[in-house]
Amino acid sequence: MMRKKCTQCGKVKFLKNYFKAKDKRWKKAYYRSECKDCSSAMSTKYRRTEIGYLRHRYTNMNRNYKINKRGRRNKCYVTLNEFIAAFQKHKSIYGMRSAWGPGPKHLDDHLPITMIVQGTRRRKGKKTPRQWSNLSADRLDSDQDYTLQNLIFIRNDENLRKNRSTYEDCKIQIRLYEERFIKKESI
């Protein structure tokens, strides 16, 4: 059984403790130079930076598009640089608060957002808890693709609550509210 020395921690480990490399220029039967533990630690450290977290969210947004009610896949028409610029613009308007709320003039009513890598992996036999207050890149209209106009930054818990209603449902609710409470019309 072959062994290899990790370039990060310096320990000599079996090859089963290394990820296979995609690039064939790597040494030792195309395995990465750092062990799985060091690779995971480096990845977690990078995702805890703002750019690393945004890149991770962008990758998941592109990878996990789902089939909508009409049987069509929602696609992403936003580049990584546009995605990062959109978040910077969001921060200049809302700070580190969700866009879901009464508007920029009432920022105290918007919930705060954080950039914490969600815990879903098992660590030494224990499953780490999920952080539901994280930043979520979402679509304003769930029936439309990811575009700059349709992209909003909200909290995951707001996203989960919102994803059960469509934009059309919201318009109907607003119309009903106006009819019954502003115009005082009965059913």
pLDDT tens-place string over residues 119-178: 555 556 666 665 555 788 888 777 778 888 888 888 887 777 766 777 777 777 677 777
- 75-78-81 Cα angle (round to 5): 150
Give the burial string for 62-97 (b: 16+ CB within 10 Å, else e): eeeeeeeeeeeebebebeeeebbebbeebeeebeeb
pLDDT at 127: 63
pTM value is 0.69
Helix runs in 17-79, H state only: 27-30, 36-47, 50-63
Q: Please count the CA atoms within 13 angstroms of the CA of 47 that sit on its side-chain side.
A: 17
71: pLDDT strictly greater than 80: no
For the domain spanning 48-177, the CATH number is: 3.30.40
User: Which residues lie below 8 Å from residue 41, measured CB to CB, with a gap of 6+?
Assistant: none
Q: What is the pLDDT of residues 22-41, one digit of tens each?
A: 766 555 467 888 999 999 88
- Rounded Cα distance between 89 and 105, Å, is 16
Looking at the predicted structure, is the pLDDT value of residue 73 above 80?
A: no
Q: Is 29 left (phi over 0), alpha (psi -120 to 50) or beta?
A: left
Higher pLDDT, 78 or 68: 78
What pLDDT is stored for residue 126 in this prediction?
63
pLDDT value at position 69?
A: 57
pLDDT score recorded for residue 133:
55
Domain locations along the chain: 3-41, 48-177
CB contact set of 29 (below 8 Å; sequence gap of 6+): 2, 15
For residue 31, give the H/E element and its range.
Answer: strand 31-35
